[in-house]
């Protein structure tokens, strides 16, 4: 099980770092971008910010809030979550692989088209907003949101992946 807010914030850091590295490779191979590309460099992350912010509010009647509100409490958190050491090891392994993938993929694409690296920055902004809104929702409701699979009798309604579960906010996980 991975805490939803930590997953999104870590994903934002990984994708943005991969974009910066790939952007450096793209600039080294093709030179600095032209003036019109700087406009895209400024507008695309702003668009990503506005779109994700709208998706994490009730304005579009979709997004993350219905998934959070449909979250089911974990019946046995100690068994489902494991120890803090197990959770930390799972996260390190997951993000190490993901960072390697994004570095290789973004650098390979930046070798041919440097502007494609903007995809990394839009993804990073998207995950940053989603993680911050998740943390805000957790604080307001006094619970922690977890993503993963738990075998228990009461399952969340079928609203699509990921399945999200809650535990009360405790000092050890907060």
Cα dihedral angle (15, 88, 149, 95), rounded to 10 degrees? 20
The residues, ordered by sequence, that sit 6+ positions from 117 with a Cβ below 8 Å of its Cβ are 19, 22, 23, 26, 106, 109, 110
DSSP class of residue 114 equals: G
Which of 22-26, 55-59, 110-114 bottoms out in mean pLDDT, i.e. has the lowest? 55-59
The reported pLDDT for the residue numbered 93 is 75
The residues, ordered by sequence, that sit 6+ positions from 40 with a Cβ below 8 Å of its Cβ are 115, 118
The structure's pTM equals: 0.76
Which of 51-65, 100-114, 124-138 bottoms out in mean pLDDT, i.e. has the lowest? 51-65
- Both tokens of residue 91? 């996260």
Which of 24-33, 111-120, 137-146 bottoms out in mean pLDDT, i.e. has the lowest? 111-120
Confidence of residue 24 (pLDDT cuts 50, 70, 90): confident
């Amino acid at each position: 099980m991975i805490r939803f807010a930590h997953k999104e914030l870590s994903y934002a850091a990984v994708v943005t770092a991969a974009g910066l590295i790939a952007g450096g490779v793209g600039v080294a191979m093709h030179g600095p971008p032209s003036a019109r590309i700087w406009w895209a460099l400024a507008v695309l992350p702003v668009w990503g910010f506005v779109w994700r912010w709208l998706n994490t509010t009730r304005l579009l009647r979709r997004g993350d809030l219905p998934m959070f509100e449909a979250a089911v409490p974990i019946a046995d958190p100690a068994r489902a979550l494991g120890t803090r050491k197990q959770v930390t090891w799972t996260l390190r392994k997951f993000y190490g692989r993901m960072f390697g993938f994004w570095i290789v993929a973004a650098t390979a694409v930046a070798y041919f088209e440097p502007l494609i690296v903007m995809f990394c920055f839009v993804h990073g902004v998207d995950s940053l907003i989603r993680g911050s809104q998740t943390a805000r929702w957790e604080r307001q409701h006094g619970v922690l949101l977890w993503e993963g699979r738990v075998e228990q009798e009461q399952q969340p309604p079928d609203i699509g992946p990921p399945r999200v579960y809650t535990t009360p906010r405790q000092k050890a996980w907060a």
